[in-house]
Amino acid sequence: MKLPVHFQKEALRISGLYLLFAGLWILFSDRLLEWLVPNPHRLALFQTYKGWGFVLITALLLYLTLRARLTILEQERSQRLRVSQQLETYLSVSPVMNYVLEASPDGKPKPLWVSENIEHILGFTPDEALSFEWWVTHVYPEDRQRALELSAKVLQYGYADLEYRFFHKNGSILWIRDQMRLMRRDEKNGNVEIIGTWSDITERVQSQQRIQQQLDMLSALTGQARALAESLQVENAAQETVRLACQVLGAKLAWLGRAEPDGHVTVLTVYPPEHTYPHQIGVRWDETPHGNGPTGRAIRTRTLQVVPDLLSQPNIPEWRELLLKHELYTNAAFPLISRGRVFGALTVYSDQIGFFNEERLQTFQTLAYLAAAALENARLFGQTTRRLEQISALREIDQAISNSLDLSLTLRVALKQLREQLQVDAADVLLLDPLTQQLEYAASVGFSSDEIEQIRLRVGEGPAGRAARERQLVFIPSIQEEIQQFRWGDLLQNEGFTCYYGTPLIAKGQVKGVVEAFLRRSQPLDEEAVDFFQTLAGQIAIAVDNATLFEELQRSNADLILAYDQTIEGWSRALDLRDRETEGHSQRVTELTLKIARAMGMSEEQLVHVRRGALLHDIGKMGVPDAILLKPGALNDEEWAIMRQHPTLAFQMLLPIQYLRPALDIPYCHHEKWDGTGYPRRLKGEQIPLAARIFAVVDVWDALRSDRPYRPAWSVEKTLAFIQEHAGSHFDPRVVEVFMRVIREEGEKNF
């Protein structure tokens, strides 16, 4: 065995010392003795024993030399032992595990040593870890190939740094950071020694995952807020809400329910769409047993309801099998509240116990707030759109009445509109013969057979006869339960109808017949639909009366046009009420706009459309969220972008309504400016319709002359000066000139 260099040097030093002493002894011992012992006899005696003296002195010198050196070596050994013990102590309590591998050029690594603290961190003893197969089998399967590939790079680059999941001895999964360094390479056989460390980074990774999850949730909610703010369809907003709850926020099932007046909860949308559980459980929100679930309680109490363990709840035993089947173990229900009114709930499920921690609950609650606001806005927008569509339908019927004396054509148009607007399955009209006092078939839509054409009923006979006799709406929610009331019950059963509506056709106080509507679904019409049904009945009655009294129809038509305009005025007042800063604004600007339009030579026919356009100038604001429309402070850029959409929204709402198309100029263009800097289309000069140019001046006049929360009303002089100043930039100079003249002629106080 080859000695270390420092031991070799020490041996040479001792040997050299011995040679030096021996040489000196040989050269000077005789002279020294002669000098010390002058007596020849004694000198001979000492020379006899001088060899023993050499041995004794040499032994003494070697003893002293070796003793000093061994003392130093013992001190060094003790120091190394203390350092070794300290190192072992440090390694045993260190949060980082250490190991040493030996790897051949073509073989797998062989563990040589693993620090004792592996047992504390991973649960395995060092002996158990002294196997490469042990490491491979305990790396998480999905990370194994990547870990093998990255660890092999230590032979190529001299280092490797990788992270992977690892199984603890108790079966739990930890995240490990593995750092490897190449220590030395044996030039003869090519074997290398590798030193490495394992660090438990589970908490760090989980923290990063939580942060990323929160960022993802925040990003998703931000995107959802934008998407919901722009959504004007209830179905789209509902579907986007439940999709986000599952795909982004991690729920297994989510559904939106609407609270109905009769106590049951209607499922609006489910995600995943194919999931059947919400449709199977029959949720209610009243005090019945089916109203004691989390969804019912959330609606009833207006508070968040969390069930950590659904299977342990005593009030849902009949749902247990379904919960087990679908692997739904915990859930939370969030009430949907808008403007102080609870109208439904967002219900979310997970297959993970403990899923609804505080952070997730806050996130889902935020989502519920956003969804409630969006759904309510979409509902209001949809309601407005439906009513405008109904006005359009009434207008179409009115045109059929006005343009033709063919009663059958008018009835077909009316029934077509009735079926489309109310989504009923079938409808018919029975006309009253004043001589026989019988109701006879006149027209129908949606029936699969022509048996309905044979119907003859006396007044008072069946639901239709009762409607004619009592002169009021008759509603039968379940035809099957009251089939005996119908003389032609077999026909209804064959058609599969479930609900019935019948209302009399009354014109000028006289019953002209009955219009009937049939539904195959169990859900009845809502109050708004019933009102429209009766309105349509009034239209049909007018059409019937028109067949014999054309002149009276013309008067009725004028009354109807007035009703349309009153409806528009009603919506105008509703818009003023919604935007509390401008109550009465629409009526004032309409009156002044008409005065200026007349002064500029517009015809009476044109003035009709100008009036309607002025009343509906802000109809697009129905699509603007209350949070923006009623915001007391200044709007930010994103809010202004949404607010500036209201002319386009007005255009989209009114364009499909042929009756209101001529009135589009003001709602669509009243924010355009003479110099082309307005919106939404940046029209310039006479590209802007005249009606919109007139209204732009009047709108600014009324706005500046009205009090605002952030400023008092301007004086007449200041307002007129402002308008005069902006003639040629904001306003048409010719319109400003006429406006000034009208103000002077009519008197400033009137405005």
Residues 606 and 738 in one domain: yes
Hey, which bits of 327-425 come out as E strands? 330-338, 341-350
pLDDT score of 355: 87
Per-residue pLDDT at 440: 92
- Phi, psi at 600, each rounded to 5°: -95, 10
Strands across the sheet containing 426-433? 456-458, 438-445, 426-433, 510-519, 499-507, 474-476
Cβ neighbours, 10 Å, residue 602: 17
Helix (H) or strand (E) holding 382: helix 358-403
Domain boundary (91, 112, 136) is at 91
Kindly tell me the sign of the dihedral angle through the C-alpha atoms of 349, 243, 215, 140. Answer: positive
**Cα→Cα distances 289→285, 311, 426, Å:** 9, 17, 37
Q: How far apart are CA 238 and CA 257, in angstroms?
A: 10
What CATH number does residue 624 fall under?
1.10.3210.10
Is residue 264 within 8 A of residue 307, CB to CB? The reply is no
Alpha carbons 293 and 313: distance in angstroms, whole number: 9
pLDDT tens digits for range 409-443: 888 888 888 888 888 999 999 999 988 899 999 99
Q: Confirm whether 226 is domain-assigned.
A: no
Structure tokens at 351: 């297959």
Place of tokens 């919901």: 228
| pLDDT score recorded for residue 538 | 87
DSSP helix/strand/coil, 174:
strand
Is pLDDT of 751 > 60? no
**54 confidence band (pLDDT: 50, 70, 90):** low
> Dihedral, CA atoms, 538, 543, 547, 553, nearest 10 degrees?
80
Asked if the model's pLDDT at residue 554 lies above 60, the reply is no
What six digits make up the tokens of 730?
């904001």
β pairing state of 510-519 and 426-433: antiparallel
Q: How much of the chain, in percent, has pLDDT values that exceed 70?
A: 81
Q: Are residues 128 and 139 in the same domain?
A: yes
> Which H or E run includes 511?
strand 510-519
Same domain, 533 and 575: no
Same structural domain, 80 and 123: no
Residue 40 has pLDDT above 80, yes or no: no
> Are residues 270 and 349 both part of a single domain?
yes
Burial class (CB in 10 A: 0-12, 13-18, 19+), 155: middle
Q: Is residue 537 included in any domain, yes or no?
A: yes
For residue 383, being part of any structural domain is answered with no
Write down how long the chain is. Answer: 751
**β-strands 474-476, 456-458 pairing:** unpaired
Confidence band (pLDDT; 50, 70, 90) for 68?
confident
**Chain position carrying tokens 């010198």:** 61
- At 219 the pLDDT is 72
User: What pLDDT, on the 0 to 100 scale, is given for residue 174?
Assistant: 93
Sequence letter at residue 723:
I
Maximum Cα–Cα distance across the chain: 185
Q: Are 370 and 249 in contact (CB under 8 A)?
A: no
| Ranges assigned E (strand) in 209-361 | 253-259, 265-271, 305-307, 330-338, 341-350
Q: Quick one: 563 exposed, middle or buried, by C-beta within 10 A (0-12, 13-18, 19+)? A: middle
User: What's the pLDDT at 682?
Assistant: 95
Which of 286-295, 398-407, 502-511, 708-717 is predicted most confidently?
502-511
Tokens standing for residue 675: 């110099």
Q: Could you give the percent of the chain with pLDDT greater than 90? A: 29
pLDDT in tens, 607-645: 999 999 988 888 888 888 888 877 877 889 898 989 899
Question: Are 185 and 278 part of one and the same domain?
Answer: no
Q: Domain boundary residue among 148, 182, 200?
A: 200
CATH of residue 298: 3.30.450.40
Q: Which residue has the higher pLDDT, 517 or 8?
A: 517
DSSP 730: T
Distance CA(117)–CA(96), nearest Å, equals 8
- Could you tell me the two tokens for 258? 């609407």
- Dihedral sign (CA 457, 458, 462, 465): positive
pLDDT (tens digit per residue) in 257-304:
888 888 889 898 999 999 888 888 888 898 888 888 889 999 999 999
What DSSP state is assigned to residue 682? -
The total number of structural domains that make up the chain: 5
Q: Pick the closest to residue 179 from 193, 164, 192, 160 (CA basis).
A: 160
pLDDT exceeds cutoff 90 at 57? no
β-sheet bridge partners, residue 513: 431, 505
User: Per residue, what are the HEC states of 39-53?
Assistant: CHHHHHHHHHHHHHH
pLDDT digits (tens, 9 = 90+) for 512-529: 999 999 999 878 888 888
Pair 409, 400: CB distance under 8 Å: yes
Q: What is the pLDDT of residue 172?
A: 93
In a domain, 210, yes or no: no
Looking at the domain assignment, is residue 299 inside a domain? yes
Q: What is the pLDDT of residues 570-587, one digit of tens each?
A: 766 666 666 654 557 788
**429, 411 in Cβ contact below 8 A?**
yes
Looking at the fold, whether 423 and 344 belong to one and the same domain comes out as no
Residue 42: Cβ within 10 Å count: 12
DSSP tag of 714: P
pLDDT value at residue 93: 62
With beta carbons less than 8 A apart as the criterion, state whether 265 and 257 touch.
yes
Quick check: 139 pLDDT over 90? yes
- Whether the CB-CB separation of 498 and 480 falls below 8 Å is answered with yes
**What is the average per-residue pLDDT within 199-219?**
80
Question: pLDDT-derived band of residue 532, with 50, 70 and 90 as boundaries?
Answer: confident
Confidence of residue 183 (pLDDT cuts 50, 70, 90): confident
Distance CA 69, CA 322 (A): 86
The secondary structure of the chain in percent helix, strand, coil, rounded to multiples of 5, reads 60, 15, 25
Residue 624: which of 614, 639, 635 has the closest Cα? 639
Q: What is the mean pLDDT of residues 69-95?
A: 69
Beta-ladder partners of 98? 197
Does residue 513 share a domain with residue 567?
no
Considering the domain architecture, whether residues 719 and 593 belong to the same structural domain is answered as yes
Model confidence at 96: pLDDT above 80? yes
739 and 659 inside one domain: yes
pLDDT: which is higher, 175 or 586: 175
**For residue 222, is it within any domain?**
no
What is the C-alpha to C-alpha distance for residues 618 and 574, in angstroms, rounded to an integer?
11
- For residue 2, the model assigns a pLDDT of 58
Q: Which of 486, 433, 479 is nearest to 463 (CA)?
A: 486
Is residue 386 one of the residues assigned to a domain?
no
Q: 279 and 192, same structural domain?
A: no
Residue 125 shares a structural domain with residue 12: no
Confidence label for 237 from pLDDT (cuts 50, 70 and 90): confident
Within 8 A by CB and 6+ apart from 459, the residues are 432, 437, 438, 439, 465, 468, 469
User: What are the backbone dihedrals phi and psi of residue 319, each rounded to the nearest 5 degrees, phi first?
Assistant: -95, -5
Mean pLDDT, the chain, integer: 83
Q: Cβ of 58: how many Cβ atoms within 10 Å?
A: 15
List, for residues 101-115, the tens digit of each pLDDT value: 888 877 678 899 898
Strand partners for 444: 428
Model pLDDT for residues 457-478, shown as the tens digit of each residue: 999 898 999 999 999 999 998 8
Phi-psi region of 455 (alpha: psi -120 to 50; beta: other; left: phi over 0): beta
Angle between helix 690-704 and 733-746 (nearest 10): 50
The C-alpha atoms of residue 95 and residue 121 are separated, in whole angstroms, by 8
By residue range, what is the domain housing residue 74? 5-91
Number of helices (H) and strands (E) in the chain: give both, helices first.
27, 16
pLDDT exceeds 70 at position 556:
no
Kindly state whether residue 393 falls inside one of the protein's structural domains.
Answer: no
